[in-house]
Copies of this chain bind each other. A is one copy, B any other.
Amino acid sequence: MLKLSKMTDYAVVILAEMASLDGQLLTAGALAQHTKVPEPTVSKILKLLVKQNLVASTRGSNGGYTLSKSPNDINMAHVIMATDGPVTLTACVESSGQHCDLSDNCNVKGKWNPVNQAMQNALENVSLQQMIGGRA
């Protein structure tokens, strides 16, 4: 259906909440309350975001999470990468690492690459700032 996973959907909601309370260190529990997303899920998503360096974590008592960069510098392609992995429309896309069974006699070999790139670009051009309503 060409849709994003719920994980990505939630991730953006969570990031938007963090952006709107910029600078504050927020626990997974607090973010769950604010966004109504179940806490274990919030927790899981935050871990993914930390791995991609979109969010910075502080461990231990009084720990929590905060954005690791400005909302203008976080784009949707990056968020999707964190939660869903790389954008690879088809198995034939070069970057997919997958093997296409038809490859030898495939009449559209390589043709998906530019389409994939167009998608990627479209997503890179949408910042978290825009998702929370800002103009920049």
Q: Footprint of B on A, CB under 8 Å?
A: 1-6, 8-9, 12-13, 16-17, 20, 35-37, 76, 80, 84-92, 101-102, 105-108, 111, 114-115, 118-119, 122-123, 125-126, 130-133
> Could you say which of A1, A37, A80, A118 has the most chain B C-beta atoms within 10 Å of its C-beta?
A1
* Inter-subunit contact A2/B4 (CB<8 Å): yes
Is there an interface contact between B102 and A35, defined as CB atoms closer than 8 Å? yes
For the residues of A in contact with B, the DSSP-based class is: loop
Q: Tell me the bound Cα distance from A33 to B93 in angstroms.
A: 24
User: What are 20 sample pairs from A and B whose C-beta atoms fall under 8 A apart?
Assistant: A1-B84, A1-B85, A1-B87, A2-B2, A2-B88, A3-B87, A3-B90, A4-B89, A6-B91, A9-B91, A13-B107, A16-B108, A20-B107, A35-B105, A36-B102, A108-B131, A111-B130, A115-B123, A115-B126, A118-B125
**Chain B hits for A12, CB < 8 A:** 108
Q: Which residues of B contact A132 (CB under 8 A)?
A: 107-108, 111
> Which chain B residues lie closer than 8 Å to A86 at the CB level?
1
